[in-house]
Structure 1
Amino acid sequence: MADVRDGVGVYLSVYLLTVRNWQPDEIGIVIAVPGLVGILVQPPAGALIDRTKYKRWLLVVASVIIALCCLMIIVSSGFWPVLISQALVGLIQSVYAPAVAAITLGIVGHSLLSKRIGRNESFNHLGNMLAAIICGLIGRFISYEGIFYFSIIQCVLLIAAVFVIREKDIDHNLARGAGEATQTTDVAGVKSLLSNRNILVFTIAMALFHLSNAAILPLVGQKMGLVDKQNSSLYLSAAIIMAQGVMVFVAKFAGTAAENGRKKVLLVAFLLLPVRALLFAFIDNPYVLTGIQLLDGIGAGLFGVISILMIADLSKGTGRFNLLQGVVYSAMGLAVSLSSILAGFVVKNFGYPIGFVTLAGIGGLGSLFFLFVVPETKDIATTQQVDKHSGTASMHDKDTVRQMAADKAGI
């Protein structure tokens, strides 16, 4: 699912600029739409995943729709068809991350979650790296439209992979962060989640991270396209390949390092953001721009693992894991959309250097907020402590059994 859930991701930005000759502000609006739609659907999508036992089928249906959206981009050149396709991407991609995280938790439990999420993210980044290699070659030697056809093929392969997962291996109570005795009706709403200060400040920090980070790579792609239109897809692919290659190893490390605390690991990702944006602001050489993406590999590799673990920490024992994922991803989606719109406006009126400096300033603010306001979440006492039901104990018991079985199997 690595390269599927974003609906061709950053390549759409370069495609619209270099092939369709769109203006930066139009591109910013289209790129922002998935995030705007995700703001509305992420919380209910999380609540649905908490309740449903058809998590695998949600991934299948989502992949079919993403494939159709890629096809729509190929056959339609107008603003509105592309806008509609990206709105559908925003509606559907909200399913991927929480569904896979839920299935993972339902299979391994909390005690093995950090190592398994690290492993998940390593494979995720490996998939992105391989996809970027193929997309770069397709865009350079065939056509940019070929990248969208390749994404359709990926959707088909994802559907096949989903059916390899055995339904009987998924504990759906554990998959929503609950124990066997916790009832579905105990799942709290958004208001209850946000009444917890730790959850609120964590959500704000995640939004600030994406407000700074989301527009950086699309802007870099546009900058490369203006410097060397013919080879822009190769430069962009090289940047993604290098970053994703780093992420494969960083994600594995993050899963292990997180056992000694989440915050200090994620703080590194926050601090790298403003540094990376400032470097992009004042450098035009496409080879150097490509190399700077190594910093994104470190930051994103850490973020992808630790953010999920912190959400699991904050919702442990409540039966609210996927709902909380939805709330946090909704805030992140809002930030992604605002980032694209803000960057498009600033670049159009003041140029690319000022656009990157603006994003760097937001990244610095987010780093300070995370450092001084967000608490360490490993073993934190959160809302589950006020839950009077016996689900928490049941979940812990089940985690212990799973850990013993894993130790016996040598995992």
Structure 2
Amino acid sequence: MSEDTRSLKGLDWISLLMADVKDGVGVYLSVFLLTVRHWSPDKIGLVIAGPSIIGVLVQGPAGAFIDRTRHKRLLLIVASLIIAVCCLAVVLNSNFYPVLLSQLAVGFTQSVYAPCVAAITLGIVGQAALSQRIGRNESFNHLGNMVAAIIAGLLGRYVSYEAIFYFSIVQCLLLVVAVLVVRERDIDHDLARGAAVDAGQPVGVASMKALLDNRNILVFTVAIALFHFANAPLLPLLGQKMGLADQKNSSLYLSAAIIVAQGVMVFVAKYAGKASENGRKKVLLAAFVLLPVRALLFAFVDNPFALTAIQLLDGIGAGLLGVVTILMIADLSNGTGRFNLLQGVVYAAIGLAAALSSIGAGYVVEHFGYAVGFGTLAAAGALATAFYWLLVPETKDIELAELVGPQAVLGPHGS
């Protein structure tokens, strides 16, 4: 196996194993706290929002650091070990503050995963091959989510909910091994930050002000944040709704919902990578349109089997979103040397939107019920769709001069 092939195989395994690791068991925490710890929805909302709040604070600086560092593999390894410790902390503590602190730590470390893997990918394959490679990464990621959901559902039903957290710890350790499969020498760190290169040397780095002042970047970031404001609480609230209806089988229902969505995403992500080579905007529009439809269906449907089937829509939307978001960020930062910083800014906006939405949705459900909660999120999704279609431009082949302006480039290392 050649060095380059070995590193690409390593990316496959990282994407596969990273599935639930980056979120610290994700939605299962919400159901675990409701059905096993018997917490109220508002407290659960605060804990679920914790990682997003921390993400708002650290995503930008983390992205800037990833642009500069040549130790991207080490960052992934350390983050995975911290996530493993946080999963253990949730199992061993039932009080609010220890669990909250563990999730704040998850928020701090999960800011590393998405930009690091995207940067390593760009550094290995380059901008021209990025569309299909990101589609492959996302396909493996969704396959990993599907397999993990099957295992987690069986563990939650036939062993215990705590066993799901121990399973996540095993995933963290396996992810460390997968990271080591990628050869450091195969990563071009100038390419990994989206720097323009002339005669093998980075030309320069766009100023922070140039990025933040650019209208295209601003409206794209706001649109993605609005999408996640509407989307972030949907699956946790669905899990709670299923848990209240049938606590004994709640982990199986929730796992089935995740499996259905992730199974669809495996194929949609691969399609999205190919389709995006002809333009990004229309491909991503489908994800926005499906979001309010899914939220409205959750509001009025109670049958767990029907709710599970509705997750097909999430599979389509999330499969498109995961691929095209990264590609549009790469488009908007191409030649600036700020690819990972821009990722950090976008993910920080997502984190803020998700945090506000999780807290707000928890209180709405607490006082007005699940139907009103889902209906409110559907309205937010409709607003996000209108904003995206009317204001966000096509980003494929966008010119560097249009992005940052001819006078907005600093020296090779930037500021």
The aligned runs of 1:2-81 (5 Å cut-off) are 2-81=19-98
Q: How far off is 1:231 after superposition?
A: 0.2
Structure 1 counterpart of 2:238, which letter?
Answer: V
Q: How far off is 1:383 after superposition?
A: 2.4
The aligned runs of 1:294-373 (5 Å cut-off) are 294-373=312-391
Structure 2 counterpart of 1:212, which letter?
Answer: A
> What SS does structure 2 have at the residue aligned with 1:171?
coil
Q: Which residue of 1 aligns with 2:6?
A: none
Q: Which residue of 2 aligns with 1:143?
A: 160
Q: Which residue of 1 aligns with 2:115?
A: 98
Deviations 1:96-141 (A, max 9, x none): 0000000000000000000000000000000000000000000000
Structure 1, gaps ≥5 residues long: 393-411
Structure 2 counterpart of 1:217, which letter?
Answer: L
Q: Which residue of 1 aligns with 2:241?
A: 223
Q: Which residue of 1 aligns with 2:253?
A: 235
> What SS does structure 1 have at the residue aligned with 2:129?
helix
The aligned runs of 1:73-222 (5 Å cut-off) are 73-181=90-198, 186-189=205-208, 191-222=209-240
Matching of residue 274 in structure 1 with residue 330 in structure 2: no
**Counterparts of 1:319 and 1:11 in 2: how far apart (Å)?**
37
Residues 179, 391 of structure 1: 8 Å contact kept: no
**Counterparts of 1:388 and 1:192 in 2: how far apart (Å)?**
6
**Counterparts of 1:84 and 1:121 in 2: how far apart (Å)?**
30
Residues 91, 162 of structure 2: 8 Å contact kept: yes
**Counterparts of 1:192 and 1:38 in 2: how far apart (Å)?**
23
Structure 2, gaps ≥5 residues long: 1-17
**Counterparts of 1:144 and 1:23 in 2: how far apart (Å)?**
18
Bigger shift: residues 380-389 or 144-153: 380-389
Deviations 1:5-54 (A, max 9, x none): 00000000000000000000000000000000000000000000000000
Q: Percent identity?
A: 70
Deviations 1:343-384 (A, max 9, x none): 101001100000000000000000000000000101123325
Matching of residue 264 in structure 1 with residue 282 in structure 2: yes
Residues 210, 404 of structure 2: 8 Å contact kept: no
**Counterparts of 1:228 and 1:391 in 2: how far apart (Å)?**
60
Deviations 1:134-166 (A, max 9, x none): 000000000000000000000000000000000
Structure 2 counterpart of 1:280, which letter?
Answer: F
**Counterparts of 1:95 and 1:387 in 2: how far apart (Å)?**
31
**Counterparts of 2:351 and 2:138 in 1: how far apart (Å)?**
20
> What SS does structure 2 have at the residue aligned with 1:295?
helix
* Structure 1 residues 293 and 168: alpha-carbon distance in aligned structure 2, compared to 1, 3 A threshold: same
Residues 76, 112 of structure 2: 8 Å contact kept: yes
Residues 179, 317 of structure 1: 8 Å contact kept: yes
> What SS does structure 1 have at the residue aligned with 2:20?
coil
Structure 2 counterpart of 1:252, which letter?
Answer: K
Bigger shift: residues 174-183 or 316-325: 174-183
* Structure 1 residues 388 and 65: alpha-carbon distance in aligned structure 2, compared to 1, 3 A threshold: closer
**Counterparts of 2:280 and 2:350 in 1: how far apart (Å)?**
19
Q: Which residue of 1 aligns with 2:271?
A: 253
TM, length-normalised to structure 2: 0.92
Q: How far off is 1:183 after superposition?
A: 5.1
Structure 1 counterpart of 2:207, which letter?
Answer: A
> What SS does structure 1 have at the residue aligned with 2:207?
coil
Structure 2 counterpart of 1:94, which letter?
Answer: S
**Counterparts of 1:156 and 1:69 in 2: how far apart (Å)?**
13
* Structure 1 residues 184 and 350: alpha-carbon distance in aligned structure 2, compared to 1, 3 A threshold: farther
Structure 1 counterpart of 2:61, which letter?
Answer: P
Q: How far off is 1:389 after superposition?
A: 6.7
Matching of residue 383 in structure 1 with residue 403 in structure 2: yes
Structure 2 counterpart of 1:266, which letter?
Answer: L
Residues 178, 391 of structure 1: 8 Å contact kept: no
**Counterparts of 1:385 and 1:29 in 2: how far apart (Å)?**
41
Residues 51, 184 of structure 1: 8 Å contact kept: no
TM, length-normalised to structure 1: 0.93
Residues 204, 336 of structure 2: 8 Å contact kept: no
